[in-house]
Amino acid sequence: MKKLFIQEVAPRDGFQNEARFIDTEDKIAFVDQLSLCGYAKIEVTSFTSPRAIPALKDAEAVMHRLHRNPDVVYTVLVPNMRGAERAMSCGVDEINLVMSVSETHNLSNLRMSRERSFEQLAAVIEEVRNTDTAINVSLSTVFGCPMQGDIEQSDVLGWIDRFAQLGVNGVTLCDTTGMAYPTQVGSLFSTVIERFSGLQITAHFHNTRGMALANTVTALQAGVERFDSSLGGLGGCPYAPGASGNVTTEDLVHMLELMGYDTGVDLAAILAISRTLAPLIGHDVNSQTLAAGTRMSLHPVPEYVQQLQHSQ
């Protein structure tokens, strides 16, 4: 059985998108539960300005007080040097830097050019590189920009290369608004994995147009071993308020385990946690496996069928 690495983003990418503030104690309890489920990595929070993202204003408290499992990499989103300093003071295992490969999306999301973002992130990488803290870079809109449209594969490769040269440990290719499609995914990841064999490459899919698991299939075929996902599908898409966001962890793990992969994740355990999310966040989660049950959650044989069986 081939081993895969499942990286849970709900505590950061999910809670950040919730209208209701999730209490610090609830966040810690949630991450502590996740820590026992076999994830390779958990994105705990974001060291962003509390004014910009009040939902995660308790980043230090959550990071300091959670009960770490030594088998889990605890990563946090870091937008800039100030965020990196705050994260390092909490002893995170990894910082996750972010910029967009689309100029328009970077201007829209980070309010600066890609070159300016790269300069700032390069300075952070320079500071962190020689510490015990690992560095991942998440590249947004790799499979398409919701304002600009298609992104050239050569542009994506160019940005990965620039970060690889700075010595980062991993790069995540993010389908930020669900524009990826299976053949595109297979082609890009095949090229990236061949060209950047020294980097940990993660696929981060959104299910906005229903293709997240289809994209997962071709990513697997291209050799991807690391997948971001969000319990209950938490974390929406700002460009399509009614649409799905992050691929749902339990749906992803359910499929991968059926396909014979070893995800390490305890599906029954995460389904039990997912079931507690609706009351916590105040609305239904987006989980097909929770709604329908796992494939082998069989239904009882009705009595009239039993009678027919006996009368044969």
For residue 153, state whether it binds its own copies (rule: CB under 8 A): no
Tell the smallest beta-carbon distance from residue 240 to its own copies (Å).
Answer: 4
Please state, in angstroms and rounded to a whole number, the distance separating the CA atoms of residues 151 and 82: 30
For residue 279, state whether it binds its own copies (rule: CB under 8 A): no
Q: How many residues belong to the site for its own copies (CB under 8 A)?
A: 58
For residue 190, state whether it binds its own copies (rule: CB under 8 A): no
Q: Closer to its own copies at the Cβ: 200 or 276?
A: 276
Question: Do the bridges between strand 5-8 and strand 200-204 make them parallel or antiparallel, or are there none, so unpaired?
Answer: unpaired
DSSP for 224-262, please give it: --EEEEBGGG----TT-TTS--BPBHHHHHHHHHHTT-B
Judged by CB under 8 A, the stretch of 20-28, 33-41, 75-83, 201-209 that binds its own copies is 201-209
Q: Closer to its own copies at the Cβ: 120 or 208?
A: 208
Q: Specify whether the CB–CB gap between 148 and 104 falls below 8 A.
A: yes
Q: Which residues contact residue 242 at a Cβ distance below 8 angstroms, ignoring those fewer than 6 apart?
A: none
Token pair of 138 as six digits: 């998440």
Give the length of the chain: 312
Amino acid sitting at position 42: I
Q: Closer to its own copies at the Cβ: 51 or 304?
A: 304
Rule CB under 8 A: choose which of 46, 202, 218, 263 binds its own copies: 218
Rule CB under 8 A: choose which of 83, 144, 232, 235 binds its own copies: 144
Token pair of 7 as six digits: 């990286």
For residue 305, state whether it binds its own copies (rule: CB under 8 A): yes
Q: In the chain, which residue ranges form alpha helices assigned H by DSSP?
A: 24-34, 59-65, 81-89, 103-110, 114-128, 153-165, 182-195, 212-221, 249-258, 267-275, 277-281, 288-292, 303-311
Residue 277 bridge partners (DSSP): none
Please state, in angstroms and rounded to a whole number, the distance separating the CA atoms of residues 94 and 113: 25
For residue 288, state whether it binds its own copies (rule: CB under 8 A): yes
Tell the smallest beta-carbon distance from residue 128 to its own copies (Å).
Answer: 28
For residue 79, state whether it binds its own copies (rule: CB under 8 A): no
Q: Closer to its own copies at the Cβ: 198 or 300?
A: 300
Given its phi and psi angles, is residue 91 left (phi above 0), alpha (psi -120 to 50 degrees) or beta? left
Tell the smallest beta-carbon distance from residue 102 to its own copies (Å).
Answer: 11
Tell the smallest beta-carbon distance from residue 299 to its own copies (Å).
Answer: 5
Footprint on this chain of its own copies (rule: CB under 8 A): 104, 107-108, 111-113, 144, 146-149, 178-179, 181-184, 207-211, 213-214, 216-218, 237, 239-240, 242-244, 248, 251, 254-255, 258-260, 288-289, 291-296, 298-302, 304-305, 308-309, 312
